[in-house]
Amino acid sequence: MVSLIQKAAIFGAAGAIGSQVAAELNRRQTPFRVVGRSRDRLQSAFGSLAHAEIFPADLSDLHSAIAAASGVDTIIYTVGLPYPSHQLHPALMRTTVEAAVASGVRRIVLVSSVYPYGVPRTVRVAETHPRMPETRKGQYRKEQEDVVLEAAKSQIDGLVVRLPDFYGPGADNSLANPIFRAALADRTANWIGPVNTPHEFMFVPDTGPVIVDLAGSESCYGEAWNFGGPGPINTLDFITRIYRALGRAPKYRTVGRTFLKVTGWVNPLFRELVEMLYLEETPVILDDNKLLAKFPGTQKTPYDQGIRLTLDWLRGAQSGRRASS
């Protein structure tokens, strides 16, 4: 398949997803620009990639966003925000679309989440499932998606790709990576919500090829695409597999709604987590048959393999920190 992309810009490149998109574009020898706030962080992460252009920018500022968008044909938007700042998602997306139109960018790809679907009404959630979020964060994400999908009707080609929770190299802001760190240190892992429900975890390196495939295919624009993990897994089973990969018995504790509410009086992050507990109590399991039919060669890393690779990456990162200290 010949890709539409001549040069891409990755907005929010330094995050877990942006890093994987950059790696895939570099592998395909497609020129790309990595955009983020910190030049030093961008240089450290992408300076060794032959096809990367380092471009620090404040994407909340229209003039800065226009500069970051100039000279590219495709923006892949992977900006992540901490929970207390999720209200900024729609505004940043509007600024990005305005900058893209002003700069003559032809396409925008938004990497989104399961949040806009709200509480699932089916066992597996396809793109046809209604988007009826009952949380503020879900509403912000839905509004963000709407900006792209509305722009795709008249101003610029756009698509949305929705991902589940992820884990693996660089995914330190995920729910799962702290479990790996606890297991390596032979400590007790913390999990928010029940552990006896099914869940879905994406090995983050799997995302780059799929996002680039979608971005490079003209027929994929104007709609949303789900990309799920290798299948649902009981959360306790996932935790157990991590510890057993190290030859250890699982050690975990669960944090419930009451604890989060009480702790939330002094910890803003815990306060923000309360409304998202529904994702553990009534999990969203993505149906991605549409994407798999479009790209039948799509690879999904099995859980045991992804767990081993994540542990190897963490060991390597720890060794690197010790060597540099």
pLDDT at 266: 58
For every residue of 10-75, which 3-state class applies, written as one string? EECCCCHHHHHHHHHHHHCCCCEEEEECCHHHHHHHHCCCCCEEEEECCCCCHHHHHHHHCCCCEE
Strands 233-234, 198-199: pairing is antiparallel
Quick one: pLDDT at residue 84?
A: 84
Alpha carbons within 13 A on the beta-carbon side of 275: 16
Segment 59-69, tens digit of pLDDT: 999 999 999 99
- Tokens for 97? 């679309």
Region 274-284 average pLDDT:
88
Amino acid at residue number 173: N
Residue 300 has pLDDT above 90, yes or no: yes
Q: Domains along the chain? A: 8-166+204-228+284-300 (3.40.50.720)
Average pLDDT of the residues of the chain = 93
pTM score: 0.94
Contacts of residue 135, Cβ cutoff 8 Å, sequence gap at least 6 = 115, 118, 275, 276, 278
